[in-house]
Structure 1
């Protein structure tokens, strides 16, 4: 089949969207399908000079989402949705169009493209919009934004031939919204290529990763992560080093708070590549994995898979699907993000009763065997082939 895969970001970006898309596209190509990727120019933000762009990828122009304000998001999403349709016109015919969301508005482009190409439409839902915005308190049901996004979502589901999503809770939520109820679970899991990364000896030396107890956070440092709670823990546990890897809209305010309150055991380490992430998680005593609200019950942060695969115990600020997965693995503790006392207690338990090397190794093996992103990607391929086989 000829397949068009429409995504907000792709390589060289290392976003959640790009990481998932790269594995699913790879599985489709390994199965013999001709896959063209259509992604926004946001994919190129921060790319190293002289980077060789991947083959089979077309980048559509959009307003660069460097500063993630509301106005910039709208300019980025609306402009990108329009340019994606234009770019698809020059790519020929396709049997299947796959669109991964968020951003939800990109599904409108996918619907138009699939109709023009007379292709089947697959919608890959990483976050259910606008539900996730309601759960985070960004806006309310019945608001102008809420009604707008609900309308876009209904149109996408009505036009789709197959819907896939990343967690059991999301699948159940979507079954009542997709007209024929056909929603398939294709989780994220651990990208096995991540485990092929070598450790970074320079990072190890620079951050003295063998010096004392370490709690690591790796990911976006934004408002949605609720990292103020981690600073609360750091403030009352000065004997532990708290290393925050990444960048984002909330970094400056967190740094200012740490300085103002004299929280000297928090270090902001900047962005790292896959090798740096693996090095930090292999050497940390605890990895902090937060969701900003316990209402996000159907979300499973990818960073938790990576920590567990590295044998790093997880302090999870979440309830629902993510907590269930952590319980099944057995390498960590969790509490509601709104309960700082319970999170503090869980953190102390992890440090007071450290896991053995055997337990860490067993947890790592369990994650790879049961939650491999590559294995789940093969399910994705089979579902698309089954859906499209009778019509291609």
Structure 2
């Protein structure tokens, strides 16, 4: 949610001409990137937030960026923005950072239909192939997944254009597909075989967590680097700590209300604590209607809010005592997953209620910015009662922000990405 505020600020400032000096990884050569992505500006989505910030840094170094992406239609499943922003199929469009965007068609659908979303992604990915082939040739093709169909499109375009392919895995696929029971049984599915084949044939695979990078290496993927999610720390405010005295304990969740988060746990926990607290749920997702029904059934102290933007997001953060980061613990792939929201909460100076495990849990513990709690309502409720009784524990200081500055600040991450890309292009050019 806060990334909307950052993206708007980035869009308004844009690249600065005097910064176009070239990456330190590619002295004297300004590269052209073709990014193939299933969701991009002006949408607000995880891939959009990551790549809007990365592209801003690429453009500062004078790199050209061409983006192949569907007409903007996330999350409603249909275009809700003016054509001037959402774009037209197979028409060129200038992005807010000076990047060039080529839009491809999509299939209108209900945002909550898995089958319809898959069909939409298949059509858009298929249309991305001619869009990528007819456009000017880039030095490298980057495809970011999921969605999985766009991986195939990126592979085809890179091979036909004879340029290096970088596959960016923002989630632990195909492992996540089996955890989510998208694929079943002991025999590898076609989805798993295709994903693993493309990962092994890519010139470089980028993982957003070190845990999944290790999984890929163990699987036989040779060229793997980690460029984590993060945020532009200079665009993120830090708030004063919560008041030491308060009659009501305020917990906040901002983000997707989906199957991966299993937010029924925090709703049940709030019902156990009762009227001495208030849980605020901000966002949208496939599970939201069921969560609203559950809260009403339990008479839980929960207030649901729509997705917020700009100052409304900041106000909601200011009022919070703790912010929730949640991933279900019965999907093994989530041991190597870090919700991008984690870095945001760590940076603003709020206590983190971390209902996570694996790498995400380790980050919160290392940063000393919150509490990692077991994935059950009783444990979460017990933690919140303790925090309400001793509100000095909510004062986390700057430890979380300091950790993000060192490990997950996007200007630093973008420079690492550029150095890696430049080295790959040099290597392939020398062959």
TM-score (normalised: structure 1): 0.88
1:205 corresponds to which residue? Answer: none
Change over 3 Å in CA distance of 1:233–1:194 after alignment to 2? farther
2:227 corresponds to which residue? Answer: 186
Conserved 8 A contact 1:35-1:56: yes
Q: Distance in 2 between matches of 1:305 and 1:90?
A: 38
Conserved 8 A contact 1:104-1:152: no
| 1:353-392 deviation line (CA, Å, top 9, x unaligned) | 3347863334333323432122112101100000112444
1:169 corresponds to which residue? Answer: 211
SS in 1 for 2:284: coil
What's the CA shift for 1:328? 0.8
Conserved 8 A contact 1:135-1:293: no
1:214 corresponds to which residue? Answer: 250
SS in 2 for 1:359: coil
SS in 1 for 2:143: strand
Q: CA RMSD in A?
A: 2.5
2:347 corresponds to which residue? Answer: 309
Q: Does residue 92 of structure 2 align to residue 92 of structure 1?
A: no
Change over 3 Å in CA distance of 1:260–1:38 after alignment to 2? same
Q: Does residue 331 of structure 2 align to residue 299 of structure 1?
A: no
Q: Distance in 1 between matches of 2:326 and 2:254?
A: 10
2:149 corresponds to which residue? Answer: 105
| 1:131-185 deviation line (CA, Å, top 9, x unaligned) | 0122344443536xx5112121122123211111111111101113354x22101
Structure 1 unaligned blocks of 5 or more: 199-209
Q: Does residue 53 of structure 2 align to residue 23 of structure 1?
A: yes
Conserved 8 A contact 1:297-1:321: yes
TM-score (normalised: structure 2): 0.81
What's the CA shift for 1:335? 2.4
1:68 corresponds to which residue? Answer: 112
Change over 3 Å in CA distance of 1:138–1:278 after alignment to 2? farther
- The more displaced of 3-12 and 254-263 is 254-263
What's the CA shift for 1:344? 2.5
Matches within 5 A, 1:240-255: 240-255=277-292
| 1:229-257 deviation line (CA, Å, top 9, x unaligned) | 11111112221111100011111111122
Q: Distance in 2 between matches of 1:30 and 1:370?
A: 21
SS in 2 for 1:389: helix
Q: Distance in 2 between matches of 1:194 and 1:229?
A: 32
Q: Distance in 2 between matches of 1:14 and 1:254?
A: 22
Conserved 8 A contact 1:194-1:274: no
Q: Distance in 2 between matches of 1:32 and 1:93?
A: 17
* Aligned partner (choices 357, 365, 371) of residue 408 of structure 2: 371
SS in 2 for 1:13: coil
What's the CA shift for 1:197? 10
1:40 corresponds to which residue? Answer: 70
SS in 1 for 2:354: strand
Q: Distance in 2 between matches of 1:217 and 1:374?
A: 27
Matches within 5 A, 1:1-392: 1-43=31-73, 48-49=81-82, 52=85, 54=95, 55-64=99-108, 66-142=110-186, 147-179=189-221, 181-192=222-233, 194-195=235-236, 212-237=248-273, 238-263=275-300, 265-294=301-330, 295=332, 296-337=334-375, 339-355=376-392, 359-392=396-429
| 1:322-351 deviation line (CA, Å, top 9, x unaligned) | 0000001111111232x3332332333333
| 1:214-240 deviation line (CA, Å, top 9, x unaligned) | 100000112221011111111122211
Change over 3 Å in CA distance of 1:120–1:178 after alignment to 2? farther
Structure 2 unaligned blocks of 5 or more: 1-30, 87-94, 240-245
Conserved 8 A contact 2:75-2:111: no
What's the CA shift for 1:22? 1.4
Conserved 8 A contact 2:251-2:324: yes
| 1:48-88 deviation line (CA, Å, top 9, x unaligned) | 54764625112211224542323112212211210111211
